[in-house]
């Protein structure tokens, strides 16, 4: 079963310095039909003006994944981590029993465009931790590159949930097929460009909920960048 979530139907927030689109209910945007999908709780498509950002604020019991599309995002947290996240980087902050952080556009002249994604963890109250890695575009070109997994390793960051996240770049005749381990749920988010997923045409900002699916086929990309989430069947956000 497939359910299409068009970009134009997402929640919107205009804060002047921040333009945000919410795939699921977040902050002042509430839709009881869009409370998350399996353990995937948030996909925020954020554009932050030059020199602006989110001041220090707390989180707990959430896996927070940031994926920069354009520009540079400066991260600082109460763990003592300080880094600048750029396109190709994958960053995961496991909030655990509590962490605070700030995120600012690292440029004084150019905007930053990034996705912030929340995944509900298996366990609550664990130690907070920070991970970051870089994935070259060549590793995502015409294929799905694993970037988050429960096991971690081989260039993937370790996420505290039975979830796997893949990133890919597709254009022209490039195709990929992802076989899932048994009947799973999956969510496909096209960050930009256009792509056909299991026969459904998606454009930038569109999402596709897929229930009890065994494989995902990607084709006919037009400068597409995509994230694919392999999720537990039937799980609900807490």
8 bridge partner residues: none
> Cα separation of 47 and 21, whole Å?
9
Position 90 pLDDT exceeds 80: yes
Paired strand residues for 146: 166
More confident residue, 74 or 236: 74
pLDDT, tens digit, 9 for 90 and up, residues 169-200? 999 999 999 999 878 999 999 999 999 999 99
pLDDT of residue 154: 84
- The predicted pLDDT at position 236 comes to 63
CA distance 65 to 111: 20
Residues in the chain: 238
Lowest-confidence pick of 87-96, 179-188, 189-198, 221-230: 179-188
Tell me which DSSP letter residue 22 carries: E
CB atoms within 10 A of CB 178: 20
pLDDT of residue 8: 98
pLDDT at 235: 67
State yes or no: pLDDT of 161 exceeds 90: yes
Where do the H-state alpha helices sit in the chain?
Answer: 137-140
Query: DSSP strand E in 86-205: where?
Result: 89-94, 99-105, 112-119, 129-134, 144-149, 157-158, 164-172, 176-197, 200-203
Give the distance from CA 56 to its chain's centroid.
Answer: 21
pLDDT at 47: 98
Q: Is the pLDDT score of 41 beyond 80?
A: yes
For residue 182, the model assigns a pLDDT of 79
Look at 24 and 155; give whichever has higher pLDDT.
24
CB of 69 closer than 8 Å to CB of 227:
no
Q: How many CB atoms lie within 10 A of CB 125?
A: 10
Q: What is the pLDDT of residues 104-155, one digit of tens each?
A: 999 999 999 999 999 999 999 999 999 999 999 999 999 999 999 999 988 8
The percent of residues above 90 in pLDDT, for the chain, comes to: 93
Nearest residue to 169 via CA among 227, 216, 113, 209 = 227
Average pLDDT over residues 80-102: 95
- Whether 159 contacts 147, CB under 8 Å: no
Give the separation between CA 167 and CA 170, rounded to whole angstroms.
10
Q: How far is CA 211 from the centre of its chain?
A: 19
């Amino acid at each position: 079963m497939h359910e299409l979530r068009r970009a134009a139907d997402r929640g919107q927030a205009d804060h002047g310095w921040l333009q945000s689109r919410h795939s699921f209910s977040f902050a002042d945007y509430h839709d009881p039909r869009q409370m998350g999908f399996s353990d995937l709780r948030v996909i925020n498509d954020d554009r932050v003006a030059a020199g602006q950002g989110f001041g220090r604020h707390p989180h707990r019991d959430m896996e927070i994944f940031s994926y920069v599309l354009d520009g540079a995002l400066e991260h600082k947290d109460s763990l003592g981590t300080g880094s600048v996240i750029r396109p190709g980087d994958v960053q995961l902050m496991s909030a655990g029993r509590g962490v605070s952080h700030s995120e600012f556009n690292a440029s004084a002249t150019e905007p930053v465009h990034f996705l912030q994604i929340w995944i509900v963890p298996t366990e609550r109250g664990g130690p907070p931790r920070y991970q970051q890695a870089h994935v070259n575009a060549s590793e995502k070109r015409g294929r799905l590159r694993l970037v988050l997994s429960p096991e971690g390793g081989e260039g993937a960051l370790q996420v505290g949930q039975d979830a796997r996240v893949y990133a890919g770049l597709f254009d022209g005749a490039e195709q990929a097929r992802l076989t899932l381990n048994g009947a799973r749920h999956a969510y496909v988010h096209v960050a930009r460009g256009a792509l056909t997923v299991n026969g459904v045409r998606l454009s930038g900002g569109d999402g596709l909920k897929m229930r009890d699916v065994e494989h995902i086929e990607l084709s006919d990309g037009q400068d597409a960048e995509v994230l694919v989430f392999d999720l537990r069947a039937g799980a609900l956000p807490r």
